[in-house]
Copies of this chain bind each other. A is one copy, B any other.
Amino acid sequence: MKIEEEIRQGKFQSEYHKLAINLTFTANWLTRQVTQGLKPHKLTPQQYNVLRILRGQHPNPASINLITERMIDKMSNASRLVDKLLAKELVERTTCPLDRRQVDVKMTKKGLDLLEKIDIESKNWDDNLKALSKKEAQELNSLLDMLRS
């Protein structure tokens, strides 16, 4: 459905204004789907993002700083997200012995196992994007990169 119909707005001030709204709307649409897919595993998209970053480092630990740097949503509060993951025993947190200001965060086996299970399902989530051909997806990626110039 065209964005004009989705939010029942006939006309936009400009193509750029329309773009701003279309981009936000489409990202929300996508996030809703990921949220749904993660729900059976009691993970939020942000927690999932942190887990994947930690797996990327495994078996090395990651600091809160490193996590923040790599998160999709950089303003997210990694500290509190790690708290939640800790409560679920998906990660472990220790003070870094070399720099006691830092925290070493590391996946547990339970966390790795969970991610592995989600991996399988998540392949299907991307299918929601397959309304576009691979070439169109590339083009969209390139336009988004350009947009942020």
Contact = CB atoms under 8 A, between A and B. Distances in A.
Contacts of A130: 16
B140 A140 contact: yes
A146 B136 contact: yes
Nearest to A33: B20
Copies of this chain in the oligomer:
2
Secondary structure call for the A interface: helix
Interface string A21-37: 11111111111101000
Interface residues of A, number: 56
Nearest to A5: B145
B7 A71 contact: yes
Given A15-B137, A16-B126, A18-B137, 9 more contacts: A3-B141, A16-B137, A18-B141, A20-B129, A24-B27, A24-B30, A32-B75, A131-B146, A140-B147
A72 interface: yes
A98 interface: no
Please give me the 7 A-B residue pairs with the lowest Cβ-Cβ distance, nearest first: A27-B27, A131-B149, A16-B126, A15-B137, A16-B129, A140-B143, A26-B144
A75 B32 CA distance: 9
Contact of A21 (B32, B72, B74, B132): B72
